Amino acid sequence: MAAASPLPTPAPEPAITLPGKTPLGHPIFTRIRLATPSDVPHLHKLIHQMAVFGNLTHQLSATESSLSSTLFPSTKLQPFHSFTIFILDVSLTLFTDTPYHTNPFYNPTEEVVNLDLAIEDPERETFRVGKSDVFAAGFVLFFPNYPSFLAKPGFYVEDLFVRECYRKKGFGKKLFSAVAMQAVKMGYGRVECGVLDWNANAINFFEGMSAKKLQELRICRLTGEALQAYGGTDSE
Amino acid sequence: MAAASPLPTPAPEPAITLPGKTPLGHPIFTRIRLATPSDVPHLHKLIHQMAVFGNLTHQLSATESSLSSTLFPSTKLQPFHSFTIFILDVSLTLFTDTPYHTNPFYNPTEEVVNLDLAIEDPERETFRVGKSDVFAAGFVLFFPNYPSFLAKPGFYVEDLFVRECYRKKGFGKKLFSAVAMQAVKMGYGRVECGVLDWNANAINFFEGMSAKKLQELRICRLTGEALQAYGGTDSE
């Protein structure tokens, strides 16, 4: 923040321009809302991009169909009590379709952000939301966990992803903050997330959000054929 | 399994004894069943013992009341779709109260184990289940998680605990196996659990159950006042 200078007769504020440049400030409207089944094609593409980013496409077996049936089963539990997704939408104009995205469990949060440079989104058409001028820019997938020492639930953030052209603008912070705010609202005791130890960017991000990396905790995973072996009646 | 020996005239099997010793084999009946609200006092004590075991009593704020309201809320979700607890019961005689513990979501699994030495349980009265001769010996607390790359849920095992006098008898394996079997039954893709990196016993246990320790994954945790700071409307 600039220090105030004691000018006795302040001149009227001019429009902010720099010589030879367009006026400063490119507003972009952002919205965080609960995902719906119609977001599945976008989610599938976003998860694929996430796998490419992490060099993990060999681990990816999700399809639109499997995402749809597991994230939005016919006996869908209330959001926040099971697997939950916030979508980050962006638009160059005010959102006019928000009422459609409002539901009893979560009112979309909107915010306008002034950027120095306009964003060129090469994947606009791929990520257009319905027929509007709204585009899916990222998502966060989370669900409750239960730290028994606290005897109250928390949230575990499984994925947090922002498309490349929208990075470094604080949008990931918005998504994570939305989860943390929801946790506080519900009286939950924790928000946790997994990071790869070599991913300094991710660790810096979460530490910047006041999360602490647990030095000693490791995860053991049983999966694939080793898990299937438990399926027989004589597996023990 | 012993190889069959082609004895033409097998003698009647004698009682198994060793010279100067009591007869071999102390049968103990074990049962794994879903916890009910009436288990909360036992669960609270088990969680306390677990905190003592891990030198973590300073992190323990769970009370019977808070466990009860969070694990068994009035709008309780179906077991396995939310926080779920299996109790390990033991008895010196056949279970006669099993029908009471059967429910539409899980049939208790019973098994008899022959021990070389009888177990002296110094906390029998504390952990007596109802008025029966059944005693709570341990528990496992788990809930669904969602690996989006697989696009199908898994289970996360938050706690796995067996009381001291019942350890080293394969009871922890039974509890973990029950979770893994349930995961397979539901078509889930993973079972995961957290261990502290210095806890070689725990790591050996899970590796013995075919789980693999993930070398690179770390958990970041936002909790306490740092989490509460997200509660204000200006927190972002």
Query: Can you tell me the ipTM of this complex?
Result: 0.87
Chain A residues lying within 8 Å of B76, measured CB to CB: none
Residue A151, classed as helix, strand or coil, is coil
Option in B158, B195, B221 nearest A148 (CB): B158
Suggest the residue from B45, B71, B81, B230 to mutate for an interface test with chain A (most A CBs closer than 10 A). B230
Confidence of residue B10 (pLDDT cuts 50, 70, 90): very low
Chain B residues lying within 8 Å of A173, measured CB to CB: 236
pLDDT value for B40: 98
Contact (Cβ atoms closer than 8 angstroms) between residue A69 and residue B73: no
With CB atoms and an 8 Å threshold, state whether A62 touches B235: no
With CB atoms and an 8 Å threshold, state whether B231 touches A197: no
pLDDT value for B54: 87
Closest CA to B138 of B55, B60, B30: B30
pLDDT value for B63: 97
Chain B residues lying within 8 Å of A47, measured CB to CB: 148-149
Chain B residues lying within 8 Å of A209, measured CB to CB: 222
Residue in chain B nearest A204 by alpha carbon: B220
Q: How many CA atoms lie within 13 A of B34 on its CB side?
A: 21
pLDDT value for B185: 96
Structure tokens at A51: 């796998």
Chain A residues lying within 8 Å of B152, measured CB to CB: 66, 70
Distance from CA of B100 to the nearest CA of A (A): 24
With CB atoms and an 8 Å threshold, state whether B219 touches A219: yes
With CB atoms and an 8 Å threshold, state whether B211 touches A190: no
- Domains observed in chain B: 26-215 (3.40.630.30)
Distance from CA of A64 to the nearest CA of B (A): 9
With CB atoms and an 8 Å threshold, state whether A196 touches B174: no
A39's CB contacts (< 8 A; 6+ apart) are A85, A87, A129, A136
Q: Which residues of chain A have pLDDT under 70?
A: 1-24, 76, 233-236
Residues forming beta bridges with residue A216, ordered by sequence position: none
Chain A residues lying within 8 Å of B226, measured CB to CB: 210-211
Question: For the segment B178-214, what is each residue's pLDDT rounded down to a tens digit?
Answer: 999 999 999 999 999 999 999 999 999 999 999 999 9
Helices of type H across A98-217: 98-101, 171-185, 200-208
Closest CA to A51 of A42, A61, A38: A61
Suggest the residue from A47, A55, A111, A227 to mutate for an interface test with chain B (most B CBs closer than 10 A). A227
Residue in chain A nearest B140 by alpha carbon: A148
Suggest the residue from A86, A220, A233 to mutate for an interface test with chain B (most B CBs closer than 10 A). A220
| Order of strands across the sheet that contains A84-91 | A109-115, A26-34, A84-91, A134-145, A154-162, A190-196, B217-223, A212-213
Residue B2 pLDDT exceeds 90? no
Q: What is the DSSP letter of A112?
A: E
- Alpha carbon distance B230, A183 (integer Å): 9
Residue B7 pLDDT exceeds 70? no
With CB atoms and an 8 Å threshold, state whether A220 touches B214: yes
- Alpha carbon distance A30, B46 (integer Å): 47
Q: Mean pLDDT score of chain B, rounded to an integer?
A: 89
Q: What is chain B written as a DSSP string? A: -PPP---SSPPPPPP---TTSPPS-EEEEEEEEE--GGGHHHHHHHHHHHHHHTT-GGG----HHHHHHHHS-TTPPPTTSS-EEEEEEEESS--S-HHHH-BTTB--EEEEEEESS----TTTTTTB-TTSSEEEEEEEEEEEE--TTTTS-EEEEEEEEE-GGGTTSSHHHHHHHHHHHHHHHTT--EEEEEEETT-HHHHHHHHHTT-EE-SSEEEEEEEHHHHHGGGSTT--
With CB atoms and an 8 Å threshold, state whether B47 touches A185: no
pLDDT value for A10: 42
Q: A27-31, A222-226, B53-57, B152-156 — which is least confidently predicted?
A: B53-57
B93's CB contacts (< 8 A; 6+ apart) are B29, B133
Option in A56, A70, A144 nearest B151 (CB): A70
Suggest the residue from B149, B196, B214 to mutate for an interface test with chain A (most A CBs closer than 10 A). B149
Residues forming beta bridges with residue B115, ordered by sequence position: B26
Question: For the segment A25-68, what is each residue's pLDDT rounded down to a tens digit?
Answer: 899 999 999 999 999 999 999 999 999 998 899 999 999 999 99
With CB atoms and an 8 Å threshold, state whether B149 touches A47: yes
With CB atoms and an 8 Å threshold, state whether B227 touches A189: yes
Contact (Cβ atoms closer than 8 angstroms) between residue A35 and residue B148: no
Question: For the segment A185-204, what is each residue's pLDDT rounded down to a tens digit?
Answer: 999 999 999 999 999 999 99
- Alpha carbon distance B183, B204 (integer Å): 21
Residue A137, classed as helix, strand or coil, is strand
Calculate helix-pair angle for B200-208, B171-185, nearest 10 degrees: 50
Residue in chain A nearest B68 by alpha carbon: A151
Residue B127 pLDDT exceeds 70? yes
Chain B residues lying within 8 Å of A194, measured CB to CB: 217-220
Contact (Cβ atoms closer than 8 angstroms) between residue B211 and residue A167: no
Phi, psi of B85 (to 5 degrees): -130, 130
Helices of type H across A186-228: 200-208, 224-228
Option in A141, A217, A235 nearest B146 (CB): A141
For tokens 């367009």, the residue is A22
How many contacts does A have with B, using Cβ atoms within 8 A? 247
Option in B59, B212, B216 nearest A220 (CB): B212
- Average pLDDT of the segment spanning B219-224: 97
Residue in chain B nearest A191 by alpha carbon: B222
- Alpha carbon distance A28, A119 (integer Å): 9
pLDDT value for B130: 87
pLDDT value for A24: 61
Contact (Cβ atoms closer than 8 angstroms) between residue A33 and residue A108: yes
pLDDT value for B14: 42
pLDDT value for A130: 87
Chain A residues lying within 8 Å of B200, measured CB to CB: none
pTM attached to this predicted model: 0.88
CB atoms within 10 A of CB B213: 14
Confidence of residue B75 (pLDDT cuts 50, 70, 90): confident
B123's CB contacts (< 8 A; 6+ apart) are B163, B165
